[in-house]
Amino acid sequence: MCENQHTCGCSNAETRHNWTKEEIMAIYNKPLMELLYEAATVHRKYHDPNSVQVSTLLSIKTGGCSEDCAYCPQSARYETEVKIENADMMSVTHVKAQALRAKSAGASRVCMGAAWRNVKDGPEFEQVLEMVRTINKLDMEVCCTLGMLTENQAQRLAEAGLYAYNHNLDTSEEYYKEIISTRSYDDRLKTIDNVRKTNITVCSGGIIGMGESLEDRAGMLVALSTLNPQPESVPINALVPVEGTPLEDCEPVDIFEMVRMVATARIVMPQSQVRLSAGRTQMSQEGQALCFFAGANSIFAGDKLLTTPNPDINEDMQMLGVLGMRIQKPFETHPQPQTVEAEDSQYHSLGENPKWTRPNHKIERNEGKRVRATH
């Protein structure tokens, strides 16, 4: 039992949903050895410390996004190497082939990402639903990150067999306004709420290294940990600065900042899977091992995370072997969803056109990188 149970909360029989920013900052700022001990104690109480879940992230529709996320090379507003003309939807056949390749390499989950502001009813969404059905029938966990979506759209994904829906909060509510101007924080929370009305699990985390303060990092963890229930998966990303985006000049995240963030997330969200996500190419294997000790028990494997570099899956498997880590099998933590065929579905396209928020404020650094029509 943890000797510091009164401060780290690891002896609580139930997960807490009332963490404060001050409490989380105090945890984050503990001496590193003490923080690691507390996080590892919590981790061992709720998880197999030698087990890691391996996911593959697949971009099924790349580039051309109308949003102005300062970190994202897929925004049509910025001049990056991601070209709008490559924005065609990937075929179901191609997705299946990629999923089988990932499965043979050891991945248990496929996460499909589309560069959309929000899901729109129509042929492309029908294609995504068929992708979900196809991957679920391969006995793999299937996750999607498609932007904002309505309750009916979430129900349709659930019927198709979706295991998880990713919708990151990115940062604190206060700092969010410095990163994105084309949607609101409430839109993110509303989408998570719509997903929670189904049997789909929630995957939601954020990014560090975007110029945010420690208070902002704590604020993001407050927002995630006070969700009830807490997200089943919490990705912690280190910003990968991409040329042409407003955040291209940000300094790389120090490995000890990443370790502290993982450890703090583990303590305040003890039953969630904490995913070591973007930025691993900048981390040594020793640094990643420290993150696993601190409570990370999931990674994205494969040479790309949507559009940014990532370690090769064979390199990852070699590292996990050296560490003696066991690869989690699909559906170890939650049962496999049943797939309902399209013709048997109880939910159908409603032709919805929801009015998601478009805040009116301008972000100077985003505007400075915007490609004008006359450019």
pLDDT at 68: 87
Residues 72-90: what's their mean pLDDT? 76
Known binder of ligand: residue 250? no
Three-state SS at 43 = helix
pLDDT digits (tens, 9 = 90+) for 196-207: 999 999 999 999
Q: Structure pTM?
A: 0.91
pLDDT at 22: 97
Q: Which of 226-235, 236-245, 361-370 has the lowest mean pLDDT?
A: 361-370
Known binder of ligand: residue 65? yes
Residues 243-269: what's their mean pLDDT? 95
The dihedrals phi and psi of 278, each to the nearest 5 degrees, come to: -60, 150
Beta bridge partners, 31, equal none
Known binder of ligand: residue 291? no
- In this structure, are residues 60 and 91 in contact, taking their beta carbons and an 8 Å threshold? no
- Looking at residue 208, its amino acid is I
- Looking at residue 7, its amino acid is T
- Looking at residue 247, its amino acid is L
Per-domain residue ranges of the chain: 21-332
Spell out the residues 6+ positions from residue 285 whose beta carbon is closer than 8 angstroms to its own.
Answer: 319, 322
Q: Which active-site residues does the annotation give?
A: 65, 69, 72, 111, 143, 203, 275
The dihedrals phi and psi of 9, each to the nearest 5 degrees, come to: 80, 10
CATH topology of domain 21-332: TIM Barrel (3.20.20)
Given a cut of 70, whether residue 105 has pLDDT beyond it is: yes
Given a cut of 90, whether residue 85 has pLDDT beyond it is: no
Calculate the alpha carbon distances from 227 to 22, 36, 295, 370 in Å.
Answer: 18, 24, 20, 34
Residues 347-367: what's their mean pLDDT? 87
pLDDT digits (tens, 9 = 90+) for 136-147: 999 999 999 999
pLDDT at 83: 60
- Alpha-carbon gap, residue 139 to 108, rounded angstroms: 9
Average pLDDT, the chain: 89
Known binder of ligand: residue 72? yes
pLDDT class for 302, splitting at 50, 70, 90?
A: low
> Residue 64: is it exposed, middle or buried by C-beta count within 10 angstroms (0-12/13-18/19+)?
middle
pLDDT class for 305, splitting at 50, 70, 90?
A: very low
- Alpha-carbon gap, residue 375 to 372, rounded angstroms: 5
Other CB atoms within 10 Å distance of the CB of residue 121: 17
pLDDT class for 310, splitting at 50, 70, 90?
A: low
Instruction: Provide the sign of the torsion angle of the four alpha carbons 47, 48, 50, 54, taken in this order.
Output: negative
Given a cut of 60, whether residue 306 has pLDDT beyond it is: no
Three-state SS at 167 = coil
Residues 328-342: what's their mean pLDDT? 95
Known binder of ligand: residue 143? yes
Given a cut of 70, whether residue 84 has pLDDT beyond it is: no
